A and B are shown apart, each in its own frame.
Chain A
Amino acid sequence: MNQENEDPTPFEQRTRTLLRDSAMQLDGATRSRLARARTASLAQRETRRSWFDFRYLAPAGAMAAALLVTVLFVGRHDAPGVNDSAGGALDDLELLADADAYELTQETDLEFIEWAATMGEKGQAGT
């Protein structure tokens, strides 16, 4: 066994026998503690497993689906009111985001206003 997986040499066989015997001859107290450790580790596996039991996932999934349907249903009834205010808010947002549009609202083109007023008066006089 000194290289690949060959047969062990007498030295290796002897050390193996000694080590295995020492493992088998552990005192009762240590063996008992090892058995308790094993039992505890298996119990922890059982405890953890119960949280992931599929039988618990089915009702949880049904509740989640019902909640989703409720939210969608209620949300549709409230939609017009919400969209009104949301639409206004979106317009404001677009205005703020668009630098050109913001500048247009800030400039007062007096010449244009005067021209438009004049044209309006002429139109009224003509009719």
Chain B
Amino acid sequence: MHCSIEAPADREGLVLTASRDQTTRALNGFLTEIERRAYRMAQIALRHEEDALDAVQDAMIQLSRRYADRPQQEWRPLFYRILQNRIRDTQRRRTVRGRLMAWLPWNADDAGEAPDPLAQAPDPTPGPGARAEGDEIMLALQVALQKLPARQRECFMLRNLEGMDVAETAAAMGCSDGSVKTHYSRAVQSLREQLGEFWT
């Protein structure tokens, strides 16, 4: 007669493994649901497909390795906070690289001019999402978003594209609810002014 009673340690191990597998499945579902919007957000901010993919992948890795055991409702603000930090790091590196390039001897003609971060952006043309759509309005929206100050754009994308509420956006941006409302209101106003001709 076979007895299928497991030792307590084995049973505990099985429970732990099952719990971890459940977390991994939940994380996979979360990342699948979020990854395209996150990529668009990064791509519009960085204007570069490779950099955007790198930023999204880094955010995924950080979330998986460090914060997967946190409650699932915290994943979204955590993920976007990591992503925005990564985007800012990439932009800073570009600015530093631009300054260094300005000091190099073969750039002596331009040395007197302050480096323009926008000019350092590798690919100012709209990404494949916009190209595939072929929509003039989408292109105009993308250009208008790129002209916004970083925090306003970040706030607008989190609230509008990602559909976060004020509190969640504040958690993701690391600021107060009041700041979120201010950033969002200014972003909407600026976009309205820029896109007026396309929206009438």
Q: Interface residues, chain A, CB within 8 Å of chain B?
A: 1-5, 8-9, 11-12, 14-16, 18-27, 30-31, 33-35, 37-38, 40-42, 44-46, 48-49, 54-55, 58
A-B contact pairs, 7 of them (CB 8 A): A15-B141, A34-B56, A38-B31, A38-B35, A41-B60, A41-B65, A45-B27
Q: Which residues of B contact A12 (CB under 8 A)?
A: 160, 188
Which residues 11-43 of B have a CB within 8 angstroms of A?
12-13, 16, 20, 24, 27-28, 31-32, 35-37, 39-40
Contact B199 A14 (CB under 8 A): yes
Q: Which residues of B contact A2 (CB under 8 A)?
A: 184-185, 188
Q: Which residues of B contact A38 (CB under 8 A)?
A: 28, 31-32, 35, 60
A25 CA to B39 CA, complexed, in Å: 12
- State the Cβ distance, B83 to closest chain A Cβ, in Å: 12
Contact A46 B199 (CB under 8 A): no
A106 CA to B60 CA, complexed, in Å: 74
The 5 closest A-B pairs by CB, nearest first: A37-B57, A41-B60, A22-B129, A45-B64, A23-B36
Contact A41 B64 (CB under 8 A): yes
Q: Interface residues, chain B, CB within 8 Å of chain A?
A: 9, 12-13, 16, 20, 24, 27-28, 31-32, 35-37, 39-40, 49, 53, 56-57, 60-61, 63-65, 68, 128-130, 132-133, 135, 137-138, 141, 157, 159-161, 163, 165-166, 181, 184-185, 188, 191-192, 199
Q: Which residues of B contact A49 (CB under 8 A)?
A: 20
Contact B159 A15 (CB under 8 A): no
- CB contact between B68 and one of A4, A23, A45 (< 8 Å): that residue: A45
The number of residue pairs between A and B whose CB atoms lie closer than 8 Å in the complex comes to 118
**Residue of chain B at shortest CB distance from A3:** B181
Q: Which residues of A contact B24 (CB under 8 A)?
A: 42, 45-46
- CB contact between A54 and one of B13, B141, B161 (< 8 Å): that residue: B13
Q: Which residues of A contact B36 (CB under 8 A)?
A: 23-24, 26, 31, 34
- State the Cβ distance, B15 to closest chain A Cβ, in Å: 11
- CB contact between A37 and one of B56, B65, B133, B141 (< 8 Å): that residue: B56
A9 CA to B63 CA, complexed, in Å: 33
- State the Cβ distance, A124 to closest chain B Cβ, in Å: 81
In the complex with contacts A25-B129, A30-B39, A34-B53, A45-B13 CB distance below 8 A: no
Q: Which residues of B contact A34 (CB under 8 A)?
A: 35-36, 39, 53, 56
Contact B53 A37 (CB under 8 A): yes
Q: Which residues of A contact B16 (CB under 8 A)?
A: 54
- CB contact between A15 and one of B57, B132, B166, B191 (< 8 Å): that residue: B191
Contact B27 A42 (CB under 8 A): yes
